[in-house]
Amino acid sequence: MRQRVLVAALVALSALPAYANEAEPAGLSPFAGDFGNALWTVLIFVLVLVVLGKFAWGPVLGMLKEREDFIRKSLHDAKHDRDAAESRLKEYTAQLQSARAEAATMVENARQDAERLREELRQKAKSESDAILKNAERQIQLERDRALAQIRTEAVDLSVMIASKLIGRNLSKADNERIIEDALKQVEARHQ
């Protein structure tokens, strides 16, 4: 490619002095002169092209190639970073949905546990109140039986005392027990 450009430039430059002579009638022109002058101009031009090609175009083209590589790498890195960000976003979205589902499950479990605990407490309170009520009824029954027994004892003692005063004499122990039992039977018959 370079060789073709150089050949085309050489042909164009070698034809320029002839064209310049025809276009300008007389005066100063860089192409005015003879073939030797044109040859030196072409040689200097080629020398400048070679020097520029070796020392300027190479580094310039190298820098352009480096810049192109840097841009390609930057585009590749940006695409890679974008893909990674999209992947992380999908992961975070999935984790967020999972966390929401887990939170909903935890709330539902807590609600069920609270309902179960409330029912257990209700049953426990009912059983405790039933036990307290039965205990109170049993205590009342015991106190009633104790009071009736005390009343019977006092009634018997009172009856014996009244009977002994009425009879005027003291009865034997067997007589006392028989009278007491008869009196108790009569009291029980009245209460039933």
User: Is 166 a domain residue?
Assistant: yes
Q: Which domain holds residue 182?
A: 139-191
Give domain status of residue 144, yes or no: yes
Answer yes or no: are the C-beta atoms of 128 and 160 closer than 8 Å: no
Measured distance CA(125)–CA(108) in Å, rounded: 25
In a domain, 170, yes or no: yes
CA–CA gap between residue 161 and residue 154 (Å, rounded): 10
pLDDT of residue 53: 79
Reduce the DSSP state of residue 99 to 3 states and report it. helix
Q: Per the domain annotation, does 152 fall within a domain?
A: yes
Domain assignment of residue 41, yes or no: no
Please give the tally of structural domains in the chain. Answer: 1
Written as tens digits, the pLDDT of the chain (192 aa) is 666 666 666 666 666 655 555 544 555 555 566 777 778 888 898 888 888 877 888 788 888 899 999 999 999 999 999 999 999 999 999 999 999 999 999 999 999 999 999 999 999 999 999 999 999 899 999 988 888 888 877 777 777 677 666 665 566 767 777 777 787 777 777 766
**Can you give the pLDDT at residue 54?**
77
Contact 16, 24 (CB under 8 A): no
The pLDDT assigned to 3 comes to 66
20 occurs within a structural domain: no
Burial class (CB in 10 A: 0-12, 13-18, 19+), 146: exposed
- Considering the domain boundaries, does residue 158 fall inside one? yes
Residue 111 domain-assigned (yes or no): no
